[in-house]
């Protein structure tokens, strides 16, 4: 197992990159702590696979270094990095049995036959394929083949890191949950450094200790699920994570006051005079409905009952504000105001969070 350090790392698929936009991965400095489980989360095309493939050695970066426990591996091929990687689509040997597919990485490393037999059995149980161990991989469903790929990724106990690139895409929903749970318990048992790529926030938040959010080739935040929820460092983190995501509203901010389309509200803390494009970010969980003269004037457009609570879609001068109201809340037409709980208000300047000034 290893700590992985990325230094001034950047990658462009172009031969002569000149502009920042030429980089699929913008410059990045980051430590992956030994033994932690990370999720790498972001929408399609934001650079997740590029980053993962650089860590595994399938791709050499155009700039910067990668260290495993302080050893420079930047130019080392994948085989020397001692890493297991599982991809989105199955990579299996069709002519081999499930057993031989699973045993392959162990045989390759010259492991002892008894150990191989026991370990393969254990992995087969984890992926629910004990009954098919002697079947040829050919003819199995894509779903079963992907489980073999996962099993092969998990079979070695002595790897530096386990990398998963959207591994559950072709797996059916029930099994997805099951396998994710297995991966998590594998992590608890062996304490491998794990990096799990996904575009699905639920998958990321349930799997990982730390979530690394990427947007447009950049890591915009690394944090615990709670940190991503409470203090999104970038407006993208705010609206990508959460359901519905954070409300983001144009504002003018001065000290501890904000003005939104002519209405002034108190922020509870001072923020100085942020420049550039200034916005307030408030999660629906930190908003409530009221009537009278407080808060922001709104018109309720729609109320959605989603079981645990209600989502109220309100209009504020042409911008939608989402409010989460308790399940039993009585939402009356007189409610024409939205009030923010100042504990949940973040201020953004050019999409990046402004730290509140110390009182």
Binding site for Mg ion (CB under 5 A): 49
Regarding 89 and contact with ligand ADP (CB under 6 A), the answer is: no
Hey, what are 194's tokens? 């794990």
Q: Is the peptide bond before 244 cis (omega within 30 degrees of 0)?
A: yes
Contact residue for ligand ADP among 49, 201, 235, 351 (CB under 6 A): 49
54 is a contact residue toward ligand ADP (CB under 6 A) = no
Question: How does DSSP classify residue 355?
Answer: P
- Is residue 16 at the binding interface for ligand ADP, with CB under 6 A as the rule? no
CB of 29 to Mg ion, least distance (A): 22
Q: Is 160 exposed, middle or buried (0-12, 13-18, 19+ CB in 10 A)?
A: buried
Question: How many whole angstroms separate alpha carbon 24 and alpha carbon 40?
Answer: 15
Cβ distance 8 to 27 under 8 Å?
yes
Using CA atoms of 129, 134, 138, 142 in order, give the dihedral in degrees to the nearest 10: 0
60 sits near ligand ADP (criterion: CB under 6 A): no
Locate 317 and state its tokens: 């001068």
Q: Between 45 and 268, whose beta carbon lies closer to ligand ADP?
A: 45
Q: Is 44 in the site for ligand ADP (CB under 6 A)?
A: yes
Q: Which is nearer to ligand ADP, 51 or 267 (CB)?
A: 51
Of residues 6, 46, 83, 171, which one binds ligand ADP by CB under 6 A?
Answer: 46
Identity of the residue, 50 or 346, whose beta carbon is nearer to Mg ion in the bound complex: 50
Residue 13 lies near ligand ADP (rule: CB under 6 A)? yes
Nearest CA to 104 out of 132, 123, 80 is that of 123
* Residue 44 binding result from Mg ion, ligand ADP, none, given CB thresholds of 5 to 8 Å by partner type: ligand ADP
Give the residues lining the site for ligand ADP (CB under 6 A).
13, 24, 42, 44-50
């Amino acid at each position: 197992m290893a700590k992985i350090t990325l230094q001034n790392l950047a990658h462009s698929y172009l031969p002569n990159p000149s502009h920042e936009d030429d980089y699929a991965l913008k410059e990045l400095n980051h430590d992956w702590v030994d033994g932690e489980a990370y999720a790498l989360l972001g929408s399609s095309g934001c650079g997740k696979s590029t980053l993962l493939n650089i860590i595994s050695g399938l791709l050499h970066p155009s700039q910067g270094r990668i260290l495993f426990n302080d050893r420079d591996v930047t130019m080392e091929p994948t085989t020397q990095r001692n890493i297991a990687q599982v991809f989105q689509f199955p990579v299996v040997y069709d002519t081999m049995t499930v057993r031989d597919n699973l045993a392959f990485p162990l045989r390759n490393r010259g492991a002892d036959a008894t150990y191989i037999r026991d370990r393969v059995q254990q992995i087969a149980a984890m992926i629910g394929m004990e009954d098919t161990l002697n079947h040829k991989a050919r003819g199995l469903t894509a779903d079963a083949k992907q489980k073999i790929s996962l099993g092969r990724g998990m079979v070695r106990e002595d790897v530096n890191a386990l990398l998963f690139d959207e591994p559950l895409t072709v797996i059916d929903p029930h099994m997805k949950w099951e396998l994710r749970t297995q991966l998590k318990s594998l992590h608890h048992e062996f304490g491998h450094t794990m990096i799990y790529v996904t575009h699905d926030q639920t998958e990321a938040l349930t799997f990982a200790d730390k979530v690394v959010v990427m947007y447009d080739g950049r890591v915009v935040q690394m944090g615990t699920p709670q940190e991503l929820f409470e203090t999104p460092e970038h407006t993208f983190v705010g609206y990508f994570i959460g359901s519905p995501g954070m409300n983001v509203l144009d504002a003018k901010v001065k000290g501890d006051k904000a003005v939104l389309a002519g209405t002034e509200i108190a922020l509870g803390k001072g923020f100085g005079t942020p420049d550039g494009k200034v916005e307030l970010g408030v999660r629906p969980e930190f908003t409530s409905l009221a009537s009278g003269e407080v808060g922001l004037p709104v018109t309720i457009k729609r109320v959605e009952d989603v079981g645990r609570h209600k989502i109220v879609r309100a209009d504020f001068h042409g911008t939608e504000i989402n409010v989460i109201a308790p399940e039993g809340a009585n939402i009356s037409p007189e409610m024409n105001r939205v009030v923010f709980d100042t504990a949940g208000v973040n201020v953004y300047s050019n999409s990046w969070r402004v730290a509140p000034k110390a009182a």
